[in-house]
Every structure is written in structure tokens, then in C-alpha cells.
Structure 1
Amino acid sequence: MSKRARTDSKTSNNSQASSDALTVRVDGASVGSSCAGVTAKDGPAGHHEVTQARTHEGTIQSCRLKVRSWWQTVYGETLGFSVKYVSDNSLPWSANAFETVFRLDDSQESRKVLSLVPERNEIVSEIATYFQKVRPQNLTEQPFVHIRGEEIHVRFQSSVFLQALWKTPPSYKGQPMKLVSKGLGKGGTRVYKAYLPSETKADLEKRLEGKTFPGVEFILADIYEVENLGGGPIFRGDFVLVCSAAVSAILGEKCFEILYPRRRP
């Protein structure tokens, strides 16, 4: 997802040094700044906050304008998957519904290991043991595991299980398996971005109310809010569309497909 930083500075007529408010979009990455007194922290539900106390020579003013930003579902349903999971763009989506794909650690001879029955059984055992820890207690089913070339495909119709696999992959011989792709409620997922004019979240929701977009499963919107200024929250203009079919435009703006690089099997 995009990261933006904007810094405004002013110099007074009497040449007093000042540090003005800083607004920074934080998405889990460190943000460098030449301004002093800037602090960043994670808020609840994946929100990010950046604050700065404005200082002047001889006085200290408590400006502390806080900016929170988050991704929010504004159309459709994520089928039990968290916004953090679906907004992670570091992995492609699996071709099949509710399927996560792994490969072994680089230090392991994947092709040789995955062709041997005892080793294949051990991999299934590791995944099943992991599944037992996170499944609901009353569930008597088990995940489907199949091996294709150097890829390990794990399929089960549970958003809780798939998110657990994404957050902490199972291990084989002490080495965590490497994620190749992650699953969603439908197969053949395509992801697009669109860039719209900024507006209030309330106005955006009014524009979307009652509309249907064929092929679009759900839409994530980039939202921010500046404390104490009023009129917010604000839609920053960025859309992420998770789709089951090709989409060319949304609300009059062109869509750009995100083509994830295929991870080495």
C-alpha cells in the first residue's frame, strides 16, 4: 500500500526556530524525519498514530495533532477474514478457494523430500497438529493437504485456520515453511487499485449506498482522521478492490490490476 509523508515548515519574522505539525502515513514501516519531537505508535485495530509537540524558543505549546489511518471495508463482505489479512499485499492470492500454499525452507531439498512417503507423512502430521491447536473444539474435520512439485497445498474452509497459517506458518524439521500464496473465500481472485478524489467517509458511503459492482467481492478504502479538526474521518482516495472477475473502472475512475510476482516454488 502506498505511503505518504508531508512536512510543512514556517520561519517567523523574528527568526525564531519552530517545528510545525507533521502528518505521516504509517504502515508498519519506519518513517524518517528531520523534525524533533515526533512520536509514532500503533493504536487499536491496526490504526496508526503520529504526534508532535510544537516547540518555540522560550515556550512549549502542546499541539499534539494526532492522525489515525486505517483500511476499512466499504463494500461487500470479507467472509470472516480480517482487514489486516486481506490488505496484506506482500503475497498473491491462491488460485483455489480457502487454500494456502507453502514451500519448504531454502535449506531443505524440497524436491527430494517431497517425493518420499515418510517425509510427506511427516509434513501432513505437522500441518494436522498445527490445525488441532487452532480449530474449534467441536470440529471433527481435518484439512486437505496435497503436494504438487515443490509446493504444499493446504485447503480448509475456515477463515480462522487460513489466517493462523498466514500469521505463523507451520514448521518442518524445525524450519518454518515459506508462504507462496494465501487463500480467500473464492478462487481466481484478482486485485485492483483505483485512485479517487478525497472526500469524507460519510460522503463516500452515501455514494456507494445501493450500488452493485459485478465481479467485485469487496472494496477496502484508505481512511484517515485528524484529531480535533472536525469534519472527518476522511477517505484518502485509495481503493483496493478484491474481485472474482475483471474490472475496468469504479465510480468513473480507472482500475489498475495488481500483478503479484510469483514466488519461487
Structure 2
Amino acid sequence: MLGDSAKLVIYGVSDVGQMREHNEDHIAWDKDLGLVIVADGMGGHNAGEVASEIAVNSIQEALRDVLDPDMQVSHSIDLRDAVREAITYANDEINRMARENFAYNGMGTTIVLNLFQGDRVISAHVGDSRAYRLRDDKLEQITSDHSLVQEMVDNGYLSQEEAQLSASRNLITRALGIADTVEVDVNEEKVAHGDMYLMCTDGLTDLVNDDEIISLLRDYRSETAGCNLEGATQALVGLANDKGGKDNISIVLVCLQQAFSDSSGLEDD
């Protein structure tokens, strides 16, 4: 069933951090659609928060137009194309607003989203906001940063450890709002019972490494009690703030609390 909200547990928070005066991040989710979005805005005169909000709202609007939560997914809909087109629409809306209001000139935002449908998740992103999956006690980053340092890592000029310490680690190579067109990375994979998905801005990952993330997620997940997403989210935000909170910190956690069949995403009770 579209979204299959009974199987999803979702919790998120967006925190201003310790050093910023206002929050330019924006997060949202729609359990009926199975949609989760995280955006990290940028630009002067508070325009970053405008860009991130436009992006999140535009994507939700576009996907609600093609997905009906009361119906099965139509086989004629390519969900990967629908997600890509929704993000392209968001880019168009940010550019339109920037043209119409001089104060918003140069605004932009990263975007990362997960769309859970049946037994699959479609992940899409532009920029360096990330999505991770915790499965069988293994944490895997399922997005690849669109950043200068990631390109240097991919080309063998930097190690991951060096990239984490690089002064250029926040220079992104893709974002919504910086050009008339945008290249969107879209992936699709099967989900499994007990999977936990983390989506976040770089306000978390610049300060908290993967080992620290997985340690905290383990602490708040158990076979008997399930996923304490609120506790895990608050602990991650707290750790980033304890380490300086240099940027806004936005996190959404999703836990797959029931099993999925291979065919429809539903299992008999």
C-alpha cells in the first residue's frame, strides 16, 4: 500500500545549534506518502531558510499530485522519475522566487529525501545532506556528498579521514537554486524489517563521526523495545552541540517496525 504508514516510525528535530542566530534548515515528513525530507538552506538576508522551505514544500506538493495515499501505486508511475521531477520543480520554484525578490538572489539549498513505498525506498539528494541506513548492526551511508572534498576522495587525492578535517569540506558542487537545471542522484533499494534510516544535514556529520553515530543508534534500538527514535535523535543533536554546534543540526530518523513481503510490501497478520 502506498506509503504503508503503519510500518513506519518517524521522529525528527531541527536545532539552531550553538553559533548560528537563526535556523536555515527545514525538515518534513508525510507518513501516508512514506515521504521524509531534509534541507539545508544557504544565502544572505535569511534567504537560506526561504530556499529550504520552498524546496520542502514544493517537493511535497509535487509528489502529492502524483501519489494518492488511498490507492495502490499505479504501475504506470515511475517513482524514481516522479522524485526527480519533484526536485526539479523545487529548483524551478527557488529560482523563480529569487528572480522576483532581489533579497533572495543567490539563495539555495541542499536536499535529501527518502520515499518509502511497499518493500522499497527511493533515496534522492542534491548537495551534502546525507542519508544513512542501519541494518544488521552495520551503518552505511547511502548517499554520496556533492562536495569538493568528496570529489577529491573519489579521485584518490584525499582519504576519508583527511576529508573530514579539510577546511574545504563545506564547499558543495551541487545545490538547488544555483542554476536553471539541477542534476539529482536517485537510488532505489529494498527495505527490511528493523532497518533504521538516518537523514541529516552537515551540522551533524561535520562534528559527529560515523562510529559515534552508530554507537548512539545502537543504544536506542533493541529487539524488545523497538526503536526509541526520540531518544536517539536528541542524543545525536546533544552530541553535536557538545562539540561546538557550529551549524544548524537537523535529523530525521525512520524505523521499519514491521516486516515486508517481496511482492506488495504487505504481510498477512
Instruction: Give the structure-2-normalised TM-score.
Output: 0.24
Larger CA Rg, structure 1 vs 2: 1
More strand by share: 1
Structure showing greater relative contact order (alpha-carbon pairs closer than 8 Å, 6 or more residues apart): 2
